[in-house]
Amino acid sequence: MTVEPGIAPAAATANREPSSQPEEGLIQLLTPEGELIGHPDYPLDLTTDDIKDLYRDLVLVRRIDTEAIALQRQGELGIWASLLGQEAAQIGSGRALAPDDMVFPTYREHGVAWCRGIDPVKLLELYRGVSHGGWAPEEHKFSLYTIVIGAQTLHATGYAMGIQRDGRETSEAVIVYFGDGATSQGDVNEAFVWAPVFNAPVVFFCQNNQWAISEPMEKQSRVPLYQRARGFGFPGLRVDGNDVLACYAVTKKAMQAAREGQGPTLIEAYTYRMGAHTTTDDPTRYRLASELEMWKLRDPIERVRAYLARGGLAGPEFFAEVEAEAKQTGARVREACRTMADPPPLAMFDHVHAEPTAILRQEREQYAAYLESFEGPENGPANEEAAR
C-alpha cells in the first residue's frame, strides 16, 4: 500500500462503505430468510418449543429496549444504550449458559441480563441515575454492568482462575462480553494473555456490531477480530451474530470446552448496532442510512419468525400471545420506571467501606445537620432507614 505524502494511510480507507458482507467461514445455522441450514460442527440440540422460547426472548428484550428508549425521550432515564440488532447474539449466547456459569457484561447486555433473570427495572435504575447497579451478582451469576471499556475481561479471567482453584472446572465456566472497539484496549489484550497462560475456563464473547460510537471496525483492526485469539494461543471463531441458533450452538460448545479444561475461546459475533450508540448519539453524522437498510434484511428476529411461520411450527395465536406478553412487560417496565423514587440523600454515604470510617461518618453527620438546617421534617426523610 503506497501512501500519499502527508496523508496517513488510514485516510485511504476512511470513506469506504463499511464492509457488511459477513465473511466466508462465518458460522450460520439459520439464514436471514429463515432457512435452517445446520452446520456439521454444531448439531442443534433444540426442540421447536425451545426455538419458540428463544423467539419469545428476542421479542421481549426488543420491547424492553424500545420502551427504555421512549422513557429516555420522556426524561425518565438519563441515557439508554440500545441493544437493537444485537438481540440474537445476546439471547443465543445467554440461553446457552448453564445456571452456574458466571457472566461479565458491558453496559449493553440487556438481553443477557434477561436470560439471567435480572428484572429489567434493575437495569433502568442505572440509566435513570438511581443506582450504579444494584443487583446481587452471585445470586444471578451476572456481574454488574461495566462501563470502562474492557475492564471486565480481566475480572472474568480472574473469576475463571478462581473456579480452577475451587476445583470446579468441570461444572462452571465464565463468559465475558465486550464490543469491537474494546479489542483495542490494553486490558482486553492482557486478558487474552492471561486466559491461555492459566488455561482459564473463560469464553470471550465479542459482539462486533461494526461501530464503536462513530468509529467503524477499520479503526480498530485491519483483519477480522476472531483471528486475534490464535496469536495468543487459543481458538477464535466468527459466528453470525444475528442468528440466534448459531450463537446458541457456538457458545454452548465453547463453554463446554472451557469446562473440560480446554481453556478459553474467542467468539466474534458478527452483528450490527441498528440504533444509535446511546440515546445521546446521532449516527447520521457518521454513517449512511443505506447500511442500516441492508442490515434490516438480516434482522435477528424476523428470521426466527419466518422459520417458525413458514414451517407451520407456530401459528398466529403464538405470535399474538408473544406480542401481548411483550406489551404487558413493556407496560410494567414503564410504570415501574415512572414511579421509581430517588434514593434519600444520605444514602449516598452508604457502602463506601465495609464499615464507615470516622471521617466519612463525620461528613455524613455534618451534611445531615446541614440539610436539617433548611428542611423541616415535612420535606421528607433524609436517610434510608427513615424512608422505610
Partner 1 sequence: MTKLTLSRGLNEGLRKALENDPKVLIMGEDVGKLGGVFRVTDGLQKDFGEARVIDTPLAESGIVGTAIGLALRGYRPVCEIQFDGFVFPAFDQIVSQLAKMRYRSRGQVSLPIVIRIPFGGGIGAVEHHSESPEALFAHTPGLRVVACSDAADAFTMIQQSVSSDDPVIFFEPKRRYWDKAEVDTAGGLAGALPFDRARVAVEGTDVTLLCYGPLVRTALEAAAAARADGRSIEVIDLRSLSPLDTGTITASVRKTGRCVVTHEAPVYAGLGAEIAARVTEQCFYHLEAPVLRVGGFSIPYPPSRLEDHYLPDLDRILDAVDRTFGW
Ligand X SMILES: Cc1ncc(C[n+]2csc(CCOP(=O)(O)OP(=O)(O)O)c2C)c(N)n1
Helices (H), the chain: 10-14, 48-73, 87-95, 110-115, 120-128, 137-140, 151-165, 186-198, 244-257, 289-296, 302-310, 316-338, 358-374, 384-387
Asked if 238 and 270 count as a contact pair (C-beta separation under 8 A), the reply is yes
Closest CB to a second copy among residues 135, 226: 226
Q: Is 165 a catalytic residue?
A: no
**Exposed/middle/buried for residue 64 (C-beta within 10 Å: 0-12, 13-18, 19+):** buried
How many binding residues for partner 1 (CB under 8 A)?
Answer: 84
- 110 is a catalytic site residue: no
The answer to whether residue 386 forms part of the interface with partner 1 (CB under 8 A) is no
224-263 residues in contact with a second copy (CB under 8 A) are 227-233, 236, 260-263
179 binds ligand X (CB under 6 A): yes
Find the part of the chain contacting a second copy (CB under 8 A) among 15-23, 121-129, 162-170, 304-312: 162-170
Q: Is residue 131 within 8 Å of 109, Cβ to Cβ?
A: no
Euclidean distance between CA atoms 258 and 98, whole angstroms: 12
Interface stretch with Mg ion, choices 67-75, 130-138, 204-212, 358-366 (CB under 5 A): 204-212
Which CB atom, from 95 or from 238, has the smaller least distance to a second copy? 238
Alpha helices in 129-239 (DSSP H): 137-140, 151-165, 186-198
Q: Which stretch binds partner 1 (CB under 8 A): 17-25, 51-59, 215-223, 306-314?
A: 215-223
Q: Which of 186, 316, 376, 377 binds partner 1 (CB under 8 A)?
A: 186
286 is catalytic: yes
Task: Supply the DSSP symbol for 176.
Answer: E
91 binds, among a second copy, ligand X, Mg ion, none (CB under 5 to 8 A by kind): none
Check residue 56 for interaction with ligand X (CB under 6 A). Answer: no
Question: C-alpha cell of 351?
Answer: 457502602
Q: How many CB atoms lie within 10 A of CB 342?
A: 10
Active-site residue among 56, 277, 303, 334?
277
How far apart (Å, rounded) are the C-alpha atoms in residues 149 and 140?
A: 22
Question: Taking CB within 5 to 8 Å according to partner kind, which of ligand X, a second copy, Mg ion, none is near residue 268?
Answer: none
- CA end-to-end span of the chain, whole Å? 68
For 68, phi then psi, to 5°, come to -65, -40
The least CB distance from residue 148 to a second copy, in Å, is: 13
Other CB atoms closer than 10 Å to residue 126's CB: what's the count? 21
C-alpha cell at 228: 486475534
Q: Which residue is nearest to Mg ion (CB)?
A: 179
CA distance 285 to 280: 13
Question: Of the residues 132, 230, 286, 361, which is catalytic?
Answer: 286
List the one residue from 374, 376, 377, 378 that touches partner 1 (CB under 8 A): 374
Residue 222 carries which DSSP code? S
Residue 148 within binding range of ligand X, rule CB under 6 A: yes
* Residue from 169, 172, 180, 240 binding ligand X (CB under 6 A): 180
Residues 205-264 touching ligand X, rule: CB under 6 A, are 209, 211-213
Closest to a second copy by CB, 73 vs 222, is 222
What residues are annotated to the active site? 273, 277, 286
Binding site for ligand X (CB under 6 A): 108, 147-149, 179-182, 209, 211-213, 273, 277
Binding site for a second copy (CB under 8 A): 1-10, 161, 164-169, 183-187, 189-190, 192-193, 196-199, 218-223, 227-233, 236, 260-263
